[in-house]
Amino acid sequence: MIFRQYIKKKRHKYGVKFFELCTYGGLVLNVEVYSGTKFQDAEGLGQTGAVVLHLMQSYFDKGYHLFIDNWYNSVSLTEYFSQRKTYITGTLRRDRKRNPQEVINKKLLKGEMFFQSLGDVSVTKWKDKRDVQVISNALVPAMVKTTNRHGKEKDKPNVVKIYNENMSGIDRSDQMLSYHSGLRKTIRWYKKVGIHLMEVMLSNAYYMYASVTPCRNVKNIKDFREVVVESLIVPPRKKRLMRPQLNFHCLSAIPATEKKKTPTRRCQHCRKRTEKSLGTNV
C-alpha cells in the first residue's frame, strides 16, 4: 500500500493519513485522504502549502481565520493568505524558506519576545520553556496578560494566546471520534477508511443537532448513534405466499422399480409447452 504512512511519534505508527479542516468546536468542514499522489502546486508553495489551499478552496476571500501547526506553515503561505483576504496564525519551523534569520537566531531569556514584520506578515519568537516561533497576518505582536487553569497570571504574546485558544478544533474532533469507535484491527485498509468517514459524518450530525437543539432528548453521542442506527434499520417484511399461476403444475414422484431405483420421466406439461413454442406438431 503506497499511501500507508509511518509516523514515529504516533501511538499507532502505521496508518492512512487524513487531512482535515475543522471549526473551533470540532465540526469537520473538509477532509482529504492521502493517496500517495502529490497535490497540484499551482502557487509554488510546496506540497504542505498545496494541502492547505486544497482544503481551503471554498473559504478564501471571506475573512476567515485559519490556525495551523508548523508542518504546513511558511512565510510564502502567509503572504498568499493576505492576498486572498484570509487570516492565518500558526507555529513555524526554524528551517522554513524565507524565515527571517535575525528572529530565528535571536538569543532570548525566558519570557522575552522578539519579532519582525513585513507588510501584514509578522514572525514572532518567544522564549518559554523552549523557543517558540509563531507567524501571523492577523495581529501585531504584543505581550498580554493571560491566566492559566490554576489561576496564575503570565505574560505571553497575543499571537501565542490566540493560537492556543483556537487550535483545538482537530483535537475536539479526534476526541469525539475516540468515544465508542467502531474501528477494529484489520488489514483491509478500505474498511478503516470507510468506517472512519462514517464516524466523521455521525460526529458532524451530532454537533449540528446539539448546536440547534438546546433542550435535546439525546444527551450524548452514544445515544445519538443508537437513534440513527434504529432509524436506518428496516423492519422485516412479511413473506407473501405465491399465488398459483394458470400454467402452474406440480411434479409427482415416480415410484422405484426392480430395474431402476430412481426412475425419471419427461414432464408432459413442460414438453407440450416447449413443442408448442417451437411450432412442432404433437
In the prediction, which pLDDT does 5 show?
76
The pLDDT score that the predictor gives to residue 84 is: 95
Residue of 45, 46, 47 whose CA lies nearest to 37: 47
Domain ranges of the chain: 4-212
Q: Please tell me the predicted confidence (pLDDT) of residue 157.
A: 94
> How many other CB atoms are there within 10 angstroms of residue 232's CB atom?
7
Q: What's residue 158's pLDDT? A: 94
3-state helix, strand, coil split of the chain in percent (to 5) is: 30, 20, 50
Q: Residue 44's pLDDT is what?
A: 87
The one-letter amino acid at 179: Y
pLDDT value of residue 142 = 94
- The DSSP H or E segment spanning 123 is strand 121-127
pLDDT number for residue 282: 42
C-alpha cell at 279: 411450432
Place of cell 492577523: 138
The DSSP code sequence of 140-192 is ---EEEEE-TTS-EEEEEHHHHHHHHHTTHHHHHHHHHHTT------S-HHHH
Q: pLDDT averaged over consecutive 10-residue blocks of the chain (282 residues)?
A: 70 81 90 83 88 93 93 94 95 93 93 93 94 94 89 91 87 80 75 87 89 78 87 76 62 81 77 62 44
Q: What does residue 166 show for φ and ψ, rounded to 5 degrees?
A: -115, -10
